[in-house]
Amino acid sequence: MHHAIFLCFALLIPIVFLGGCTPSASDAYHKITPAEAHEMMKKEDIILIDVREEGEYKTGHIPGARLIPLGTIDSTVTAKLPNKKKPLIVYCRSGVRSKKAAMKLVELGYSDVRDMGGILDWPYEVEK
């Protein structure tokens, strides 16, 4: 009987420790407000990503944003974003595509992805 309890306990230890080593999607994905994004942009070294289409980007985007349309976010995006640990902030027009893009980036192994939602909620400067 004691051997069975010890064996069960010994088998559980690696599972507990392994589970804590890899970041889960909930650890890598964060929903943030435009105000929080604005503060991060001023204080941290982040990459700001506009996931809209090129025509939308040209009508107005957040200064410093890189255009990477949602449809192009696949395994090839690592060529554009090689550092998977660097904080990323993604946005779109209203927030639907930014969430999809953020989830794709997390699935691709990016460990700090912030979903700001839509540029419609951005009260700060926009450039064309």
d(CA 27, CA 54) in angstroms, rounded, equals 30
Q: What is the tens place of the pLDDT at every residue in 23-55?
A: 466 799 999 999 999 999 999 999 999 999 999
Single-letter amino acid code for the residue at 23: P
pTM: 0.80
Structural domain includes residue 81: yes
Q: Is residue 19 part of a domain?
A: no
Residues with pLDDT less than 70, the chain: 1-25
Q: Which domain holds residue 72?
A: 24-121
60 inside domain = yes
Q: Is residue 5 part of a domain?
A: no
Specify whether 21 is catalytic.
no
The Cα 61–Cα 122 span in angstroms is 10
Q: How many CB atoms lie within 10 A of CB 23?
A: 15
pLDDT at 24: 61
Total residue count of the chain as it appears in this document: 128
Question: For residue 62, is it within any domain?
Answer: yes
User: Which entry of 65, 92, 116, 119 is annotated as an active-site residue?
Assistant: 92
Domain harbouring 32, CATH code: 3.40.250.10
Domain annotation covers residue 3: no
Distance CA 101, CA 125 (A): 23
- Domain membership flag for residue 7: no
Q: Which helix (H) or strand (E) holds 106?
A: helix 96-107
Is residue 60 within 8 Å of residue 126, measured between CB atoms?
Answer: yes
What's the pLDDT score for residue 50?
Answer: 98
